[in-house]
A and B are shown apart, each in its own frame.
Chain A
Amino acid sequence: MNLVLLSLLSLGGMGLLFGALLAFASKKFSVETDPRIEDIRNVLPGANCGACGYPGCDGFAAAVAAGVAPVDGCTVGGAAVAKEVGSIMGIEVAAKEKLLARVLCQGDCEAAKDKYEYKGVRDCVAASMLADGPKGCRYGCLGLGTCVRACPFDAIYISDKGLAVVDWDKCTGCGKCVQACPKGLIELIPESSLVQVLCISKDPGKEVRDNCKVGCIGCRQCVRACRFDAIEFADNLARIDYSKCVNCMLCAEKCPTGTIYADFAKRKVAVIDEEKCIGCTACKRACKFDAIEGAVREKHRVLQDKCTGCEQCVKKCPVDAIHME
């Protein structure tokens, strides 16, 4: 009993003494830190993924408070976090569009040929060291899951046909998979984009055809079809300029190999509110598909079968009489 009491007293006494000394020292040697750092740190997601380019959320918070990093630098938190960080820093944040990762290949086990049977380490980097991987097409997705393991948000899976697929509900656009993919197949695309070229092969058309049923053969039909000059063509490959694309999906309709993907389920058509329409013909002139009819000072009408949902008329209407459905 005596021993226990002695131990408790002496250890407790020492603890108290040291604690008091430290408390005194902390007053004497206190350093003023920016209180905003902690505030910012608290609104960040805390995944420490490093997508902002700083070592973890603490590093980013310190950089924002120092005015080095942009307030909307956290791609994972997106607009909501940017707004909160902005309010701490006293800066208005313009809404920035969220980016999502997209695997630019649809050459699965049915559509694409293999050139050999790979039995090595189940990793894309390892496989791509062996004659550019087992796929016939040297640009194609190997489906061994290097991106799946790189994803901190569990947003990528390998489909049963052997292709990497991004789950857009979970994707935060942090870009970890973009760096991990040895083929450079994953790209960050704006969330609003509904049309993508799902091929990065720069091989000539015949070679692509031999290896894969769904690859870009460089026929340029999409380039001719696009009325907004949004498709660039270089190295036997079509690329969409997302800043110009208006999601009219005409290129996807024209593509003979089905390489261009479009989310047709989300396609809308324009509808004119006849009560508001003043018959100015501004929409008729803006429409590049001749989908609007009507004379001056008369109510206009949208031809549903011709409308592609490019939304150009909505932007031009001076009285906001057009909306998308």
Chain B
Amino acid sequence: MEYIGKIFLILLSSILINNFVMSRFLGICPFLGVSRRVETAVGMGAAVTFVMAMTSLITYIIQYGILEPLNIQYLQTIVFILVIACLVQFVEMVIQKSSPTLYKALGVYLPLITTNCAVLGVAIINIDEKYDLIQTLFNGIGAALGFTLAIVLFAGIRERLELSDIPKPLKGFPIALITAGLMSVAFLGFQGLIK
């Protein structure tokens, strides 16, 4: 029971309290780049969720199955990036085949998931926190859901911003950055959720 409680805590904390975009400031590039419309934001969120969950799983296996027994932990970063790059390539192929519209809408940001620091971040945090396999999986999914939550909320706000009367110097990216800052402050409120 205690174990399930801990997993729930990990999930909650990675979605809300330590939200990757809003608190850890990882993955800002797609957060700003693909948040013009809710539809593409959801697509991006789904792609990142898949990549993050798979990355968490595979990097865990590699870390404890290959790197630690062979005592070559120093290869961690390059191996993890290799895993991420392959997964992103795979996701890109699947999306191009299954949904050309989504592929077009995501554009350059899809291959850029490779360099999305949130993905590498979650893999390294998993190891640093010494999570076991199930905890790792849930932390990965939680982080990805947090990313999706942030980007979808942000896209919703930006869709409304398009229609509002914004002073000319603030139009476009300036107001988006201010909005992102305010959202980050709002997410700060979750810090007191768990003692």
**Which residues does A use to contact B, with CB under 8 Å?**
3, 6-7, 10-11, 14-15, 18, 21-22, 25-26, 29-31
Contact = CB atoms under 8 A, between A and B. Distances in A.
B70 A10 contact: yes
B86 interface: yes
Interface stretch (B11-19, B91-99, B112-120, B163-171): B91-99
Interface string B109-140: 00000000000000000000000000000000
A42 to B, nearest CB: 21
Contact of A31 (B62, B72, B78, B96): B96
Contacts of B100: 31
Interface of B: 62, 66-67, 70-72, 75, 78-79, 82-83, 86, 89-90, 93-94, 96-97, 100
A20 to B, nearest CB: 10
Contacts of B62: 14
Given A18-B82, A29-B97, A7 B90 contact: no
B86 A7 contact: no
Given A29-B96, A29-B97, A15 B72 contact: no
A6 B72 contact: yes
Contact of B86 (A10, A11, A21, A29): A21
A6 B70 contact: yes
A18 B83 contact: yes
B72 A22 contact: no
Nearest to A13: B66
B82 A29 contact: no
Report the 7 A-B pairs with minimum CB-CB distance, sorted nearest first.
A29-B93, A18-B86, A29-B97, A7-B72, A6-B70, A31-B96, A25-B90
Contacts of A25: 89-90, 93
B70 A29 contact: no
| Overall SS of chain A's interface | helix
A10 B93 contact: no
A31 B67 CA distance: 36
Contacts of B96: 29, 31
B70 A31 contact: no
A18 B83 CA distance: 8
26 contacts: A3-B71, A6-B70, A6-B72, A7-B72, A10-B67, A10-B70, A10-B75, A11-B75, A11-B79, A14-B62, A14-B79, A15-B82, A18-B82, A18-B86, A22-B86, A22-B89, A22-B90, A25-B89, A25-B90, A25-B93, A26-B93, A29-B94, A29-B96, A30-B97, A31-B96, A31-B100
Contacts of B79: 11, 14
A25 B100 CA distance: 17
Contacts of B93: 25-26, 29
Given A22-B89, A29-B93, A10 B83 contact: no
A10 B94 contact: no
Contact of A7 (B75, B82, B94, B97): B75
Nearest to B100: A31
Contacts of B86: 18, 21-22
A6 B74 CA distance: 12
A3 B71 CA distance: 8
Given A15-B82, A29-B97, A10 B89 contact: no
A10 B82 CA distance: 12
